[in-house]
A and B are shown apart, each in its own frame.
Chain A
Amino acid sequence: MPLGLFAPLPLRLGGSAEEGWSAADHARVCADLVLLKKSAPLAVWTFTKVGATVTIHDYYGLNGAGAVYAPDDISLIGTGAVGFNWSIRLFEDPYQVVHPLSAKHGKVSGHGSTSLRGDVVVVANGVSVYTFNGAGAAADGKATVALW
């Protein structure tokens, strides 16, 4: 049976722009997808720390969107300092292909109406975040963390 005619898959590249998928178009999809994968953020979330209470808002990650995918091992390091770690540092895609999550880069940015800056320390299972007020003193607050 000819592929791509009566059989759904494997798909034979070619055909018209309206009913087919050319090799050139497919190649562009592959090239762009690969380059996007190289630079896509690993995860982004916003959190609020007030004393011993840390709340994560709207986690987006390559591993999933929502609280169930966010770092689940949250450690209080001190004022303005909190560790976000995945206790099981594995990403399982929809096809049960598993690979470890591994952050290499991090960035934190403060929220609010007054100065709040932040630093990150990338660790084995996640990231530690340190936030400071305008005077350079450790301070709790709200911030967004992005990892790559």
Chain B
Amino acid sequence: MSQMGKAELKVPGGKLLRALSTVKEGRIEEVRITGDFFMHPEEAINKLERRLKGVPSDEESIRRIVEVFFKSVAPTVLGAASNDFAEVILRSISEAASQ
């Protein structure tokens, strides 16, 4: 059975990030990242969400995927940093684990 978790993170001096994750048997089924931040190009967010699909839901794996995404795709983000995305995703996953 998959578990769902939701989290939000207000970046100090920046924007609000939200993540909605579903996890099944230790792997991410889906992550949806929403909020009032800016990412250019906007569609890059879909790439990040796709890359997270099927990834083991441990902290190290998720941090690595997010970091590689920001380095390789290199979107311009205003109001949040790479770490903030990793953080809100991780929070939503621990939220899912506690369900």
A binds B: no
